[in-house]
Structure 1
Amino acid sequence: MRLHRNLVFAVVDGLREIFNEGKYADKVVRNLLKRDKRWGSRDRSFVAETLYEIVRWKRLYSEIAEVGAPYSRENAFRLFAVWATLRGITLPDWKQIEPTPTRRIKGKFDELIKIRKYRESIPDWLDALGEKELGAKWDKEIAALNIQAPVVLRANTLKITRDKLRSVLEDQEVDTEFIKGYPDALQLTERMNVFSSKAFTDGFFEVQDASSQLVAQFLDVKPGQRVVDTCAGAGGKSLHIAALMENKGQIIAMDIYENKLKELKRRTRRAGAHNIETRVIESTKDIKKLHGKADRVLIDAPCSGLGVLRRNPDAKWKLQPEFLDQIRETQRTILNDYSKIVKAGGKLVYATCSILPSENEQQVKNFLASEAGQEFNFIKDKKVLSHVSGYDGFYMALLEKKA
C-alpha cells in the first residue's frame, strides 16, 4: 500500500483536533473530507477509517509510541507510524516520520495486548466500571465494542417495502443482505457512502443500527394513536414510529435542542412522514400540558452512550466518571416527570444506548418503587449486548400505566 502525503497529513491534523482540542471525530472527519475536491472515494475512505482506527486504539498506540497529551505533530506522526507498522504497511522516507523501530513496536504490542485496558484501549476507570457492572461479560462486550460497526439501513415502509428497497439499491450498485429478526433492516455487504444514492434522496431508507430499530417496535404503537417521543433528537425513532403507524394518528417529537428538531423536520419531508409535530421543551410547562394525554410515550433517555462506542470511539476519551453520576440523576428526573404524559392504560418505553445496569434495569427498578412508578406495571425488558447481537448495545423496558 502506497501512502500519499496529503492524506497522511490530513489524518495527523485530525488526530490533533480530536485529542488536543476535544472536537468530535465525526465533525472533524466531515471537515477534513472537504479539504481536497480531487480526492476520490478511496482517498476519503482512507482518511476517515484511518482516523477512526487511531482514535479507537489511542491508549494502546500511545503506550507503544511512548507519547501522550498534548499531542504534538511529531507525536501524532508517531501514532500513525504505529498504526501503519501493525498493519504491515511500509513507511515512506519522510522527514516527519523518523526511522520506525518495527521490531520494537511489534514486541511492545505483543506484550501490551495481554492486559485488557491496553488490549481494548480504554481508561482505567472505565475498565473497572465495566467489570463491576457486567462481570465476566465485560471482557467480550468491550472487545465487541471495538469492532467497526456495520452500516445498517431501515426501509421506510411509508414509501417502499424492504424487499423492493433491496432490489432498487442493487440497481444502484449498492449490495445489501437481510438481517434475521429485523423486519425492516438491510445491511450493506460493503461500506460505502449511501447518502449520495438516489434511493436515499427519494426517502426510501434511513441509516439506523439494527438495535436502534428494535425500540419503536417495542413501543407497540398502533395507527391512530397519540405518541410522544420525549427525547427525539434528530428523530430516527420518530420516523420509524411514523412508518409503523402508517402515517395515521399523531406523533409529538420533543427535545430541548431546537437545532435537532429542525433536522427532524427536514427528514420528515424526505421520508413523507406527515403525522410528526415537533415541539421544543423550553420549560416544565411544555410537559405538564401533555399530562395524561398520550397512548404511548418513548423516553430514549440521555445516557453514557457506551453501547455505541463502535461508531463513536472518541467517546471513550471524553467520558468522565462524574458525568455518569450526573446522567443517572438526569435519567431519574426524566423518567419521573415524562412518565406522567402516559394516560391510563397507555404504555411507556424507557430506552438507552448504554450497556450499564445502573443506567438501565436499576433505573427502572427505582422508578417502579417511587411514587410516580406506583401507577405502572412492568411488562418486559430487553437488553442487547454487542458481543451477542453483533450490533449496538441497547436497553429497553416496556411499562403499562394502570387503568
Structure 2
Amino acid sequence: MSNRYVPGATPLYEPEFAADPHAAYARLRARHGAVAPVEVAPGVGAHLVLDYRAAWEILTDQDGHWSKDPRPWEASLPSTPEAHGVLGMIGYRPNALFTDGEVHDRFRQAVSDCFRMIQPHRLRATVTEIADDLVREFAAEGRADLVGQYARPLMARVINRLYGRSDASGRDLDRILTTLSNAVGADAVAANEEFGRYMNELITAKYESPGDDLPSWFIGHPAQLAPEEVVQHVVLTLGAGNEPSANLISNTTARMLTDERYYSSLTDGALSTREALAEVLRTDPSMANYGPYFATRPVHFHGTWIQPAELVLVSYAGAGSDPTGLPAHADERSDGGAHLGFGAGEHRCPAADPALLIAATAIDRLLTLLPGLELAVPFDELTWRPGPFHRALAALPVTFRPVRPDQPGVTPWTNSKPSLSTL
C-alpha cells in the first residue's frame, strides 16, 4: 500500500464517516476482514485493524514484529499539504509514543514517574473548582453547549494547571489542538507550527524558573531528558490529555443522558459514571482510530500483506465493537467489558488513572449541579466532527432547570473558594 491511493479505500476524514463510523466498521469488516484499507487524508493510505484479537496482537507484541517509529513511512508521504497535515498526529517525535526498545523504556519511565506525582485529591479538587467556575457562567440560562462551554475549556484549564500556568494563559491552546486533531491540510500544518512555538515558550520559562508542575518534573527527572525530549514529552502529554479527555467527557455525558440504564441511575444509582466511561471507552473511545504502528519486516497479518513503510492504525472503536472477537462475556459486564480505549501493552497510556478521575469528576459535577439535565435534541441529531483519528462531538446542546446563586441546595456557588493552584 505504502502511501499510494488504494482503489476502494474508505476515507476516514469525511463527514459521512463521522456520522456513522460503526456502520463503516461493519462494512469494512464484512468486505475485508480483520484489516481494511482506508485513507487518513487524500492520497494517504493506511491499514485499519478492526478485529479485537488482531489489535491485541499488535498492542502486546513482545517479539519486535511492530515498531512505533514512523520515519520510514514519513519518507514515503506525497508532497501535498493534505498529506503533511497528518504529521501533526503521526510525525516522528523523540517521545515515548514514537520510539521502541531501550529509548522507549527510558522515556516511559520518566512519564510514568511524573504522572505518579500528581496527587489524586488535589486533582479532584482542581477539577471541581474549574467545573463550578464554568457552570456558573451558564447556570442561570437553563441551556448550554457542554462541548464548547464545558468539556473543552475545562480540559484546557486543567492542563494549564498541570503545567503551572494560569487559567488565562494558553488562550489559543484548545483551538490549536482541535485543528491538529482534525488533521486536514494546510490548517493542520500551520497549527503544528503554532503548537511548537507554544511549547517552546513554555519549556523555556520552566528551565528559567522551575515549579511544582509536570514540565518541571520532566526537567528534573533522573532520566535526564534533553531539552528537545522535554519539549516533546510535554507535547505528548498535552496532545494526549486535552483533546481525548474533553471528548471522553462529552461522549460519556451524551451516552448517560440517552441510555436508560444510566439515565435512570441519575436517581436510583443503577449504573455509575465509571461504568459509563468504561462502555464509551470500549465502543466510542475518544481516539477511535489511532495507535500508529509499522511492520519491521513484510508480514502477512490476518489475511493482508503489510510492508514496513505502511501505516497501520488500530481501530480501538472497531475492535471494541467487534461482535466476534471480544473476550468471553465482555458484552455481559455492566462495566462495558474489556476495552482498548487506553491502548494495551508497553505503550498503554500511563495517564489512564488521572484521565478517568478528571472525566468522572467533571461528569458527576454536572449531574450534581444541573437539575433536570437532558439533551436539547435527539441523540441521533447530534453532529460529530470529521477527522480520521478522533470520535468527537461538534456540540452537546442540553437543557436543565436554571440555577441561581440565591437558591438552596448545592449550586456552583456553594464551594467557590479556589483550590490549590498546582497539582
Which one has a bigger Cα radius of gyration? 1
TM over 0.5: no
Larger RCO, structure (CA 8 Å, separation 6 or more): 2
Structure (1 or 2) with the greater strand fraction: 1
TM-score, normalisation: structure 2:
0.26
- TM-score, normalising length from structure 1? 0.27
